[in-house]
Amino acid sequence: MHRFYMTLTMASDAEDRLMVDLFRGYNSLVQPVRNKTELPMIVKIAMQLVLLINVDEKEQVMHTNVWLTLKWHDFQMQWEPKDYDGITQIRVAPDKIWLPDIVLFNNADGNYEVSFMCNALIHHSGEVLWVPPAIYKSSCIIDVEFFPFDDQRCSLTFGSWTVIFFNLNLLKYFFKYRIYIYIYIRCWRWENAPLIRISHPSCEDLTPEAQRAVDAIEFITENMKDDETTKQYRDDWKYVAMVVDRLLLYGFFGITLGGTIGILFSAPTVFERVDEEKQLQKLIQLYKQGISVNDSFA
């Protein structure tokens, strides 16, 4: 027990000394590049879907619980493990280091922050890994014309809010989407989640606002789904539905007309039977009256 306490104390002292050395003169507001030749700075991004909370068709909103993964290199966060008792990685509060201001552009509720500002994992080589959890409400155009047999395409568009692409370049961290903990909700089923990088030609004259508009237009252009086959299927099914509808209408009309004609043709026979029954009743009454008269004379 005493030996464990001494080892823990020595490791804690080494980590404390490492933290002091790393953050001596460090400015978390300055982008961690040595000079302009290292621009644009590469930030790798990925997203893991945890839970598809809700898809609101009426409000056109998708509610998701995700883990956002960001990875970049900070040259100021490098050290030799042998100088600090073999420490190869540390965990640092996010407010102490530079963070890329990656936000969800198609946010639907105005909350651009992640749900929890978790610690960042820093490797001795200078690699910084930050995996904050987030709950996003994103806008999504939903067409419910063919509900519940419809396919919807909702996207989450991420990017830097203030840094233009000349200074920061977003790349894919995972080549394929990852779903760690996924729970199905109601009638929705997750089909696919490709990670698409939006690129644009270099143009130094564009302002950040104009560049974001260009990004949005390019995103819409690249993600427009070719639905010619879908439209053809829709038209075919519309024709089938029209034929079935007409057949049912004509069938109902024919049955109704046939029943009406049958009633009209059977009416005289019914009336004749009614007259015969009335005459029979009169004869029965006369017969009974005759019997009563005979009994009285007898």
Q: What percent of the chain has pLDDT over 70?
A: 64
pLDDT at 9 over 50: no
Sign of CA dihedral 83, 85, 86, 87: negative
Three-state secondary structure string covering the chain: CHHHHHHHHHHHHHHHHHHHHHCCCCCCCCCCCCCHHHCCEEEEEEEEEEEEEEEECCCCEEEEEEEEEEEEECCCCCCCHHHHCCCCEEEECHHHCCCCCEEECCECCCCCCCCCCCCEEEECCCEEEECCEEEEEEECCCCCCCCCCCCCCCCCCEEECCCCCCCEEEEECCCCCEECCCCCECCECCCCCCCCCCCCCCCCCCCHHHHHHHHHHHHHHHCCCCCHHHHHHHHHHHHHHHHHHHHHHHHHHHHHHHHHHHHHHHHHHHHHHHHHHHHHHHHHHHHHHHHHHHHHHC
Q: Tens of pLDDT along 121-132?
A: 999 999 999 999
Share the mean pLDDT of the chain: 76
pLDDT the model gives residue 154: 83
- Find the mean pLDDT for residues 238-254: 84
Q: Give the residue extent of every domain in the chain.
A: 2-225, 228-298
The residue among 181, 182, 211, 191 whose CA lies nearest residue 199 is 211
Does the pLDDT of residue 268 top 80, yes or no? no
**Average pLDDT of the residues in 59-78:** 91
Q: What is the pLDDT of residue 89?
A: 93
Instruction: Measure the CA–CA gap between 111 and 24, rounded to whole angstroms.
Output: 34
pLDDT classification of 225: cutoffs 50, 70, 90? low
pLDDT band (50, 70, 90) for residue 275: low
Q: Please give the pLDDT value at position 237.
A: 78
Task: Give the integer Cα–Cα distance in Å for 215 and 155.
Answer: 14
pLDDT per position as a tens digit, 92-122: 999 999 999 898 888 888 777 888 899 999 9
- Could you report the per-residue pLDDT of 32-58, keeping only the tens digit for each? 998 888 888 899 998 888 888 888 878
pLDDT at position 221 is: 57
Answer whether residue 68 shows pLDDT above 50.
yes
Res 149: pLDDT:
65
Q: Residue 113's pLDDT is what? A: 81
Q: What is the CATH number of domain 2-225?
A: 2.70.170.10
The 10s digit of each residue's pLDDT in 175-214 is 444 554 444 555 566 666 667 776 655 545 555 555 666 6
Q: Give the range with max mean pLDDT: 69-73, 252-256, 272-276.
A: 69-73
